[in-house]
Amino acid sequence: MTLARLSLTDFRNHASADLLAGAGLVALFGENGAGKTNILEAISLLAPGRGLRRAPLSDMVRDGATGGFAIYADVDAGDDLAPIAIGTGMEPKHPKRRIVRINGASAAAASMAEWLSVLWLTPAMDRLFVETAGNRRRFLDRLVLALEPRHAQHSNRYDAALRARGKLLADVDQADPQWISSLEAQLAEHGAWMDAARQRTLAALTGELAQQPDSVFARPTLSLVDSAGQLRTQPWEAGALAALFAKTRRIDAAAGRATAGPHRDDLAAVHSVSGQNAARCSTGEQKAMLLSLVLAHSDCVARLRGQRPILLLDEVAAHLDPMRRAALYSQLAEQGGQAWLTGTEAALFHDMPGPVTRYHLEHGRMQRA
């Protein structure tokens, strides 16, 4: 899949922007504050979720604009298929509601995963392995979503049932037991599906990483662990999950949250050569493992879905030495597909293997370079 055209209206610092790109690498360069990351954020919103910054929709509207914002893309599906038109945005009268249109028809945000897969790395993610379990879960779920688009629907329904159960448990002695049981049955159904999808994704990624040729980027060994740090190798069955929720009602009522379940699991990573927990590795090793993981995931999606995800790599090149930077560009070019990279200097992208699309950004304006 390739973004052949990207158009922005009143998004962040871009009053109006129109980019044309082809397959291969897309380099965006310009000084800090020029709007490079804003372009990547716009692309990330062409997939389910809150984008790479996880910002409220109202924060994305350009300062001084009187309306909402709009993002539009023509997606080249390849194989002589007709282009897909995907649009999203927000209207000021509904500042919390995201509008999505696919080929001109209104659609749910979760359905965007069926048309386009997007994965990103940002500087804020460099220390993913030492941050919260919630951040790692979101990263894992983004990997899952690229392989199994229905994951977004199950996740949304699981979260909705979890919130509804939490409200009932606020007064557990007065709550209707049948109503709680009904919500727990929904939690069990969607939770079991989510968990199985995560396990399938990790198994596929583990196999892909094992087949990757030797690289300058360290490989991680991945696993799923529960909130106590115990390794989980078998997916939850819906019946066992429902029983768990029933058993922990009073504990959850006292805690004010659901204390166990798939929403509490964590992604664990170990340096495959040294055996060191990723959280104890150097910052450079952690970044290398993330890059290795993203590159392997791209191959995995291409093999299992027949299309590559669009990769968004924000300020990655600047933090790599020349050897690793050249290795990254080479692997991205060999993989095919489309990858968008940002940097402050044009020189960072001089040695990219073609085809390459380059844009120079300056104060919200851009010029094909």
The pLDDT tens digits for 151-194 are 999 999 999 999 999 999 998 888 899 999 999 999 999 999 99
Q: Which long-range contacts (CB under 8 A, 24 or more apart) does 50-56 make?
A: 52/120, 52/122, 52/312, 52/314, 56/96
The pLDDT tens digits for 144-159 are 999 999 999 999 999 9
Give the Cα separation of 264 and 225 in Å (integer): 9
pLDDT at 304: 92
Beta-sheet strand order (sheet of 231-232): 231-232, 220-225, 266-271
Give yes or no for residue 81 having a pLDDT over 80.
no
Residue 171 CB coordination number (10 Å): 9
- What value does the mean pLDDT take over residues 282-311? 92
Give yes or no for residue 363 having a pLDDT over 90.
no
Look-up of token digits 């049948």 = 178
The pLDDT tens digits for 24-74 are 999 999 999 999 999 999 999 999 999 999 999 999 999 999 899 999 999
Give the Cα separation of 38 and 35 in Å (integer): 5
Indicate the angle between helix axes 133-147 and 177-211, nearest 10 degrees. 70
- What value does the mean pLDDT take over residues 76-97? 88
- Would you state the structure tokens that stand for residue 173, as one six-digit string? 């002695």
pLDDT at 186: 97
- Provide the sign of the torsion angle of the four alpha carbons 100, 106, 110, 115, taken in this order: negative
Give the Cα separation of 198 and 201 in Å (integer): 5
- What value does the mean pLDDT take over residues 3-12? 96
Residue 182 CB coordination number (10 Å): 14
Bridge partner residues of 70 (DSSP): 9, 89
Give yes or no for residue 326 having a pLDDT over 90.
yes
Give the Cα separation of 41 and 314 in Å (integer): 10
Give the Cα separation of 284 and 323 in Å (integer): 14
**Which among 55, 229, 203, 213 has a CA at the least distance from the CA of 133?**
229
Q: What percent of the chain has pLDDT over 70?
A: 99
**Which among 8, 6, 106, 11 has a CA at the least distance from the CA of 68?**
11
Three-state DSSP class for residue 80: coil
Give the Cα separation of 333 and 317 in Å (integer): 15
Q: Which architecture, in CATH terms, is 1-117+316-369?
A: 3-Layer(aba) Sandwich (3.40)
Backbone dihedral angles phi then psi of residue 192, each to the nearest 5 degrees: -65, -40
The pLDDT tens digits for 88-146 are 999 989 989 999 999 999 999 999 999 999 999 999 998 899 999 999 999 999 999 99
Give the Cα separation of 30 and 187 in Å (integer): 47
pLDDT at 356: 95
- What value does the mean pLDDT take over residues 283-302? 93
CA atoms within 13 A on the CB side of 335: 29
Look-up of token digits 């979101």 = 138
The pLDDT tens digits for 206-248 are 999 988 776 788 899 999 999 888 999 889 999 999 999 999 9
